[in-house]
Chain A
Amino acid sequence: MTNEEIKAFITEAAPTASFDETGEWLNIAVEPASWKALAQKLRNAPLPFDYLFCLTCIDWKTNLTVVYHLSSSQNRQVNIVVKVKLDAANPEVETVCDIWRTAEFHEREVFELFGAIFLNHPDLRRLILTDDFEGFPLRKDFEDPINMIKL
């Protein structure tokens, strides 16, 4: 699938999606509400995007952006980046761990380090931090007076 074909495929599945081709790979911005349905369609596309190789989150202060890097095991040259912007006050998005099982651990990591909530996740609890840890360490407003490195 070329970028144009992927764009046509995604526009059909999620009409509100917007594209950005300035980077190395095709960037797709998706609304949180339409992401789950699009993910399912991408997984079953003619060139199935069955390999989620990176799932992370960026804190842009006004919003949290969950970033999904997808590729296809049939053609690893085709890579796309899906970005889902979440509201900072109420960061919620549907889980994709029933589509790509690697997402289960990655979503747990993002959940505890950024505070993004993944709805319908089977086991959404802390993986790294202790029970009594307060705050979300990878958010930009996180302040740790003792351990923070400052230049």
Chain B
Amino acid sequence: MYTQTEIIKDTTGIGSEGELVINVGPQHPATHGVLHLVITLNGETIKKIEPHLGYIHRSIEKMCESLNYRQFIYVTSRMDYLSSHINNQACALCVEKGMQIEVPDRAKVIRVLMAELTRIASHELWLGAMAMDLGAFTPFFYTFRERELITDIMEETCGARLTMNYMTPGGVTFDIHENFQKKVKQFLKQFKEKVVEFDDLVTNNVIFRNRTEGVGILSYEDAISYGCTGPVGRASGVKCDIRKIAPYDAYDRVEFDEVLDTAGDSFARYIIRVKEMMQSVRIIEQLIDNIPEGDFQAKTKAVLKLPKGEFYTRVETARGELGVYIVSEGGMTPYRIKFRSPGFSNLSALDHMASGAKIGDLMATMGTLDLVIPDIDR
């Protein structure tokens, strides 16, 4: 494990000016995983935050070097387990780009539908967990009620509730279940009725607003410099939605807005996610009755071989920009693969955002970053 000397290199100054070093995590309930923060405090004011990672590092990048292009996608579901569909999509897109596989229209639309359902599910889990971090227990049950419907829809079509492994190079593994459209419409109806409850419970809650407004401010310049993407970047006004910048799959044929805010505080990051869920609903509504007929998978060879070269694809996960960078030497396995995970860059801004604030505000700041630790550690 980490030795004390590694955590604090120079111990001479510790305690001299009332400084206190505390550990948050790796088993802290509000870090939602095994994140270890070493926080230097002066009284109640945070002076420095040092994240220590690696408690769940599985070296997925190294593993992928010995797996072929069909197998490595299954490992990536375990990175950002809350948006595993979108991880799979990114990898499938990268292999398709390398091999120049044309994906059938039906598969493209199914992929977008699944990705947007995943985004709603992920944001709902985040909303419940975030409210719980700040002391409100009830929203967790409210958000999980609708999230449960999505996982049921996923289970019916993909056979799994969390790590779906549904998207493969060339399309999707199976065709959608016959109940899929009916169930999604039911879900949309219920979700639109119930989403106002979040506003009543959380958005207009005085305690919640006091704890999040003006807390953990990230400026526009810093958001770009730290590489913050997703709702974190957009709350600071950065136009970073990959679905708009470089539309992939069927995103070029749907209408939706990129939700932006300029406040850059925790409340802005919260409200961006709530509005984003409604945009996802909008996308699903446009596509659910217009799933084209045809194949759900392109005909591909059993053994995929990428030509020599380098391929980079970007997708928008629920947390931000996920990049897949494959360096191929022409064989059955990648020579080097790199996942640019959104959480890793977002976490690097935490020290900047929370330094100078009170320790009590840390959870409000960290909660809205929506950190998923397996995504950061990979």
Contact = CB atoms under 8 A, between A and B. Distances in A.
Contact of B344 (A22, A51, A105): A105
26 contacts: A23-B310, A50-B225, A51-B224, A51-B227, A52-B227, A53-B340, A54-B312, A54-B338, A56-B340, A67-B325, A69-B312, A69-B323, A69-B325, A81-B310, A100-B225, A100-B227, A101-B222, A101-B348, A105-B344, A106-B344, A109-B344, A127-B53, A127-B54, A138-B61, A151-B66, A151-B67
Given A24-B312, A130-B2, 9 more contacts: A52-B227, A54-B323, A58-B336, A100-B225, A102-B226, A105-B345, A106-B345, A129-B54, A149-B67
Interface string B350-378: 00100000000000000000000000010
Interface in B1-45: 1-3, 6, 9
Contacts of B184: none
Contacts of A109: 344
Contacts of B57: 128-129
A130 B1 contact: yes
Interface string A27-61: 00000000000000000000000111110101100
Interface in A65-85: 67, 69, 73, 76-77, 81
Nearest to A50: B224
For the complex of A and B, list the 6 residue pairs with the smallest distance between their C-beta atoms, beginning with the closest: A102-B227, A128-B54, A105-B348, A56-B338, A54-B340, A76-B245
A102 B225 contact: yes
Contact of A25 (B67, B312, B345): B312
B309 interface: yes
B63 interface: yes
Contacts, number: 101
Which of B6, B62, B314, B323: most chain A Cβ within 10 A? B62
Chain A interface extent, by class: 35 or more
B53 A53 contact: no
Contacts of A151: 66-68, 333
Contacts of A69: 312, 323, 325, 340
Contact of B54 (A25, A53, A73, A130): A130
A102 B348 contact: yes
B62 A137 contact: yes
B348 A104 contact: yes
A56 B61 CA distance: 11
A63 B333 CA distance: 21
Contacts of B333: 151
B79 interface: no
A131 to B, nearest CB: 5
Which of A22, A67, A73, A150: most chain B Cβ within 10 A? A73
A56 B63 CA distance: 17
Given A22-B309, A23-B309, A53-B321, A126 B6 contact: yes
B377 A128 contact: yes
Given A56-B325, A56-B338, A105 B347 contact: yes
